[in-house]
């Protein structure tokens, strides 16, 4: 059929008064263009049929895995091989009088096939990544950086194979030639190489996962993506910050994952008590403090212990400094501890204490150390604020003052 088609075109050209050589050239050029157009038409026809059948079936299917084939254009890219294969099979037949031109076009078709095959493999690699990302392990061990490196290597190999094919040499010879340019290649791709090394270190050492809250420089928020060269972070104010991957290996950063995975978020804040308001408790003060429900039992138990101790050691308690005595700060500490123990918004399985720190020129620091059950930032701040609202207000009930510089 092709030969008859070319013969008809030649005869038409001859009838138009063209010489034999020009008639053949025009006829075979028209035949070649017809072949290319026909191949492209067949491609679109097959793609149209696939969209009406296979694509519809995949879209209606409840199986989410086959949707990845559409997302990553696996089927569409495979269809691109059809015009290349048809053209490659018939190119010699449509250019019988011009073998050199046919050979050149065949090389172009083969190079096109190499790139299409690379694109198909790349689509399968992307599909594999999407399948992996459907599992929880992907958040612990993201492979985005590794996938990006794989694609880069894949396309570099594709280019090298195409060059070797055009030059008619082995790919090994091309690699040897590139060896002399290794310094330039390293210089050009230094950020990519550093990013690749950094992403491997982050993954192997489990330093960073998608969803982790990190703080580094201007970035303070959740990790959205871990790529070959950058890590994308959504900050607390919903702005996006990108950080070079290697910076997370070479520079220190804070990862709040440990807090998130624990049973609570730590509260460690101090208030400064005015030293001038700390004193031994008089009987009147003791009776007053006993009216506060949270420390009533503590005061009574402490009184019994102190009385027994002073009697056992025959201590003259006519002077308040002799023996053991209760102080308003000590009772206040016991009150705060009881208040924390009765707070349902704190995690009582984790460390909880109220302690004195080293006195300073600003008074005696009293630190509250506890863990909020709710780790969400806004709720955490509300719980912490409620605690200190109460503690600061309660200090005056124990005849204490919070230090405030005048």
Instruction: Please spell the DSSP secondary structure of 164-218, one letter per residue.
Output: HHHHT--HHHHHHHHHTTHHHHHHHTHHHHHHHHHHHHHHHTT---TT-EEEETT
Q: How far is CA 304 from CA 19, 296, 299, 307, 343, in A?
A: 129, 13, 9, 5, 28
In this prediction, residue 132 carries a pLDDT of 83
In this prediction, residue 179 carries a pLDDT of 61
pLDDT tens column, 173-189? 666 666 656 666 666 66
Count Cβ atoms within 10 A of the Cβ of residue 26 and give its class: 0-12 exposed, 13-18 middle, 19 or more buried: middle
In this prediction, residue 218 carries a pLDDT of 82
Residues 6+ apart with CB under 8 A from 106: 88, 91, 92
What is the C-alpha to C-alpha distance for residues 178 and 160, in angstroms, rounded to an integer? 10
DSSP state of 222: E
Q: Residue 78: beta bridge partners?
A: none
What is the C-alpha to C-alpha distance for residues 360 and 375, in angstroms, rounded to an integer? 32
Q: Per-residue DSSP letters for 43-96?
A: HHHHHHHHHHTHHHHHHH-S-SSTHHHHHTTHHHHHHTHHHHHHHHHHHHHH-T
What is the C-alpha to C-alpha distance for residues 390 and 370, in angstroms, rounded to an integer? 15
What is the C-alpha to C-alpha distance for residues 310 and 287, in angstroms, rounded to an integer? 20
* Averages of pLDDT over each 10 residues, the chain, 406 residues: 59 57 67 80 85 78 76 83 82 73 81 89 87 76 75 84 79 65 64 71 74 84 81 85 83 76 82 94 92 93 90 83 89 95 91 92 93 87 94 95 86
In this prediction, residue 275 carries a pLDDT of 93
What is the C-alpha to C-alpha distance for residues 174 and 397, in angstroms, rounded to an integer? 85
In this prediction, residue 111 carries a pLDDT of 87
In this prediction, residue 340 carries a pLDDT of 95
Q: Per-residue DSSP letters for 379-390?
A: HHHHHHHHHHHH
In this prediction, residue 363 carries a pLDDT of 92
What is the C-alpha to C-alpha distance for residues 391 and 367, in angstroms, rounded to an integer? 11
Given the DSSP bridges, would you call strands 254-255 and 213-216 parallel, antiparallel or unpaired?
antiparallel
What is the C-alpha to C-alpha distance for residues 388 and 270, in angstroms, rounded to an integer? 9
Q: Report residue 208 as tokens.
A: 């960073």
């Amino acid at each position: 059929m092709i030969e008859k088609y070319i013969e008809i075109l030649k005869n038409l050209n001859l009838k138009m008064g063209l010489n034999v050589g020009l008639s053949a050239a025009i006829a075979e050029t028209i035949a070649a263009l017809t072949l290319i157009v026909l191949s492209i038409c067949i491609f679109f026809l097959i793609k149209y049929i696939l969209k009406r059948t296979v694509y519809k079936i995949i879209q209606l299917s409840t199986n989410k895995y086959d949707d990845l084939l559409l997302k990553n254009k696996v089927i569409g890219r495979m269809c691109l091989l059809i015009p290349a294969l048809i053209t490659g099979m018939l190119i010699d037949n449509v250019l019988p009088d011009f073998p050199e031109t046919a050979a050149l076009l065949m090389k172009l078709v083969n190079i096109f096939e190499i790139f299409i095959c690379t694109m198909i493999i790349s689509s399968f690699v992307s599909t594999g990544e999407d399948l992996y990302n459907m599992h929880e392990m992907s958040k612990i061990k993201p492979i985005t950086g590794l996938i990006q490196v794989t694609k880069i290597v894949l396309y570099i190999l594709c280019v090298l194979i195409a060059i070797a094919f055009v030059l008619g040499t082995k790919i090994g010879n091309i690699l040897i030639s590139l060896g002399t340019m290794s310094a330039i290649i390293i210089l050009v791709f230094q950020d990519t190489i550093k990013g690749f090394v950094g992403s491997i270190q982050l993954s192997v050492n489990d330093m960073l996962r998608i969803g982790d809250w990190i703080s580094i420089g201007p970035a303070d928020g959740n990790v959205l993506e871990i790529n070959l060269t950058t890590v994308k972070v959504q900050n607390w104010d919903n702005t996006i910050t990108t950080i070079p991957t290697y910076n997370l290996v070479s520079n220190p950063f804070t990862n709040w994952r440990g807090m998130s995975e624990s049973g609570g978020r730590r509260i460690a804040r101090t208030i400064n008590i005015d030293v001038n308001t700390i004193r031994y408790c008089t009987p009147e003060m003791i009776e007053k403090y006993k009216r506060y429900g949270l420390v009533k039992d503590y005061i009574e138990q402490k009184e019994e212990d102190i009385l027994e101790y002073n009697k056992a050691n025959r201590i003259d308690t006519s002077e308040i400094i002799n023996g053991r005595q209760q102080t308003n700060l000590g009772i206040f500490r016991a009150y705060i501890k009881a208040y924390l123990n009765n707070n349902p918004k704190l995690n009582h399985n984790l460390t909880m204490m109220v302690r004195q720190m080293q006195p300073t020129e600003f008074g005696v620091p009293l630190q509250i150390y506890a863990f909020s059950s709710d780790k969400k930032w806004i709720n955490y701040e509300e719980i912490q604020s409620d605690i200190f609202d109460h503690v600061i207000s309660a200090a005056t009930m124990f005849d204490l003052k919070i230090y405030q510089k005048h």
